[in-house]
Amino acid sequence: LGAMVLSGLLLAFHFFCHTPVRMLVSRFLPTGRIRPITAAVLCSLIGVVAWGGAFQIIWNAISFNNDAVAEDLSALADMVAAQVPLCGFVLELGMSILSRKPEWRVFPMPDTLARNLRLFPFWFASALIVRGILRYVDTQSGLSLLPIQLLDGLYTLAVSPLLFAIPRQLRLSAQQDDPATNSAEIAPLLRTLVTTIAIVCWGAVLTGYIPLGYTIISWVSVMAITMTGLLLVALLATALGSSVFPSSAPVGAHLVRLGLPARLVDQASVVIPGLLSVFLLIVAFSVATAGAEFDPSQVGRRILSIFKGQSATEGSFNLSLDAVLLCAGLPILGHYAIRIVRNWFRLHFFPTTRLDIGAQASILNILTYSAWIIIGLCMASALGVTVKSMTWVVSALSVGIGFGLQSIVQNFVSGIILMAERPVSIGDVVDIAGAHGEVARISVRSTNIKLADGSTMIVPNSQFITSAVRNATRAEKPGVFTIPLQVPFTSDLHKAMNVITSTLAACENVEAQPVPTASITSVTDGSAILTGTARARVGMDTAAVRSQALFALWQAFQDNQIPITVTSTLAAPQK
């Protein structure tokens, strides 16, 4: 009696749990589809636990110290017990999807359709109980083949017409309520599908292929329950990702306040539901290929075999799902790990050294490329790629390099030499291929040179190794510039040199140390060439500072009445 009371309380809790669950969901979740989906998932879990627990309590009470319970009866109870939780799940799906309150229906549908389909879950749950009994009859009863096939055939003939219920009601609802509703488009497809399945099952029974018809109808029943449950979970994950976890939603905003980037939170709210949906598809495939019997252990083995794949022999590739996922995850984790290490070097280690910016860039580039090579080797190892299995790839690459990849490989090797030997560094002013500019970036394939007009010239690294390159920065410190002025011998050269040094020192964008200097560099055609040397302030464009200084010198020479002989060609500016 106590077991019956406890079982009744569990079942009553299931049937009356909808109101408190919906109140709880309404309190903590935002308005939208997430509320009915979450309520349906929670009530489904309660239904599975309540029905399964109630049956186990009653059966344990019956079999406790009861010698009349034979082994066959225990086997029958075990097979029925495997179907009872599914019955609770089906009944709860019917109450959630076909709810009397339209706002709590998982899928929008007309009231007429929901009302007409309300008995369908009860018939389906009853068919599941009968199916559990038939499993015992087929495997444990000891009956002859004729009565077993007769019972299976009757079950198939009785359950097949249930398939017509949903498309028929969709068609009737579309005609009565809203002819333009989407169900009118879905009904013909479902009706054709279920009609074909029912005809095949009936034909199999009537022609003597009863096991075929029974297997088909059992498989369809299991897949209907599986796909509906997985669809609910996928809808819940998508709804949570779109309304709860984005950076603008309550939970996402809290994660942002804890320090996570808003962009990362938004990406995770999209990627994680997508990955979960892919996993649910794998589960559905495992259930579909596990046979008509819904055996969780067999489904689990199928999922494990999909992830592990077949045992790879020596020298063969391992294309299992876990290897593919590992190869997909390694670059993502490697990207963030490399970025963290680079930031540590840039913010913490390099400030404690005397390395210039070129050396720092070379170290970071070599570190980055080495890390990516290691990641690539790890991915190849996960796929079972060995040196022996890559022999044909190496041979193909050798032929490709010999014919069409020579320049690419040459530039790659040249880039490694540039970063190792550092004949040019970032910030150096170079002349190459008739262009004059500052090295802005060095990669393994090419080098970016910033020209005076603001444009960028991309130079293959091989040109820095195989052609002549003038590095102006190697000759003098960065930022140093010179201004040559041609003055007649009749002028006061001492006064002119003093004007040059004082004017350069007075320019606001010229460094005070080292002190600007002036010297006679050459004598030609009755004139002396005076050259002023100064250094631009750090961070300033050397060419712009030289232009300002040249104008200041011209103005100072005019004020001091010192003549200047203009030549046809002036020396090119240097940085």
Q: What is the pLDDT of residues 209-250, one digit of tens each?
A: 888 888 888 888 878 888 888 888 888 888 888 888 888 888
Residue 317 within any structural domain of the chain: no
Residue 568 within any structural domain of the chain: no
| Same-domain pairing of 302 and 326 | no
| Same-domain pairing of 464 and 545 | no
Average pLDDT over residues 198-218: 81
pTM above 0.75, yes or no: no
Residue 570 within any structural domain of the chain: no
Kindly report, residue by residue over 254-305, the tens digit of the pLDDT: 888 888 888 888 888 888 888 888 888 888 877 777 665 556 667 677 777 7
| Same-domain pairing of 53 and 161 | yes
The pLDDT confidence band at residue 388, using thresholds 50, 70 and 90, is low
What integer pLDDT is reported at residue 184 of this predicted model? Answer: 46
What is the DSSP annotation of 207-274? TT-HHHHHHHHHHHHHHHHHHHHHHHHHHHHHHHHHHTSSTTSHHHHHHHHTT--HHHHHHHHHHHHH
Residue with tokens 């809790």: 13
Kindly report, residue by residue over 142-176, the tens digit of the pLDDT: 667 777 778 878 888 877 777 666 666 666 665 55
What integer pLDDT is reported at residue 574 of this predicted model? Answer: 43
Task: Please state, in angstroms and rounded to a whole number, the distance separating the CA atoms of residues 334 and 227.
Answer: 36
Average pLDDT over residues 350-375: 79
| Same-domain pairing of 465 and 497 | no
Kindly report, residue by residue over 476-527, the tens digit of the pLDDT: 556 777 888 888 877 888 888 888 889 888 888 888 877 888 888 777 777 8
Give the CATH number for residue 537. 3.30.70.100
| Same-domain pairing of 367 and 448 | no
* Peptide bond between residue 484 and the one before it cis (omega within 30 degrees of 0): no
What integer pLDDT is reported at residue 172 of this predicted model? Answer: 63
Residue 554 within any structural domain of the chain: yes
Final residue in a domain of this structure, among 473, 508, 543: 473
What integer pLDDT is reported at residue 572 of this predicted model? Answer: 40
Residue 346 within any structural domain of the chain: yes
Kindly report, residue by residue over 515-546, the tens digit of the pLDDT: 888 888 777 777 888 888 888 887 677 778 88
Q: How many CB atoms lie within 10 A of CB 189?
A: 11
Residue 572 within any structural domain of the chain: no
Residue 201 within any structural domain of the chain: yes
| Same-domain pairing of 280 and 156 | no
Q: Provide the angle, in degrees to the nearest 10, between the axes of the packed helices 183-206 and 145-159.
A: 160
Give the CATH number for residue 454. 2.30.30.60
Environment class of residue 22 by beta-carbon count within 10 Å: exposed (0-12), middle (13-18) or buried (19+)? buried
| Same-domain pairing of 115 and 176 | yes
**Amino acid, single-letter form, for residue 173:** S
Average pLDDT over residues 380-404: 66
What integer pLDDT is reported at residue 356 of this predicted model? Answer: 67
Above 60 in pLDDT, residue 569? no
| Same-domain pairing of 82 and 52 | yes
Residue 137 within any structural domain of the chain: yes
| Same-domain pairing of 514 and 433 | no
What integer pLDDT is reported at residue 8 of this predicted model? Answer: 83
What integer pLDDT is reported at residue 1 of this predicted model? Answer: 63
Kindly report, residue by residue over 99-126, the tens digit of the pLDDT: 888 888 887 777 777 777 777 888 888 8
Average pLDDT over residues 411-440: 78
How many domains does the chain fold into?
5
What integer pLDDT is reported at residue 570 of this predicted model? Answer: 38
| Same-domain pairing of 359 and 269 | no
| Same-domain pairing of 75 and 182 | yes
What integer pLDDT is reported at residue 571 of this predicted model? Answer: 39
Percent of the chain with pLDDT over 90: 0
| Same-domain pairing of 328 and 296 | no
Structural domain boundaries, residue 447: 423-473
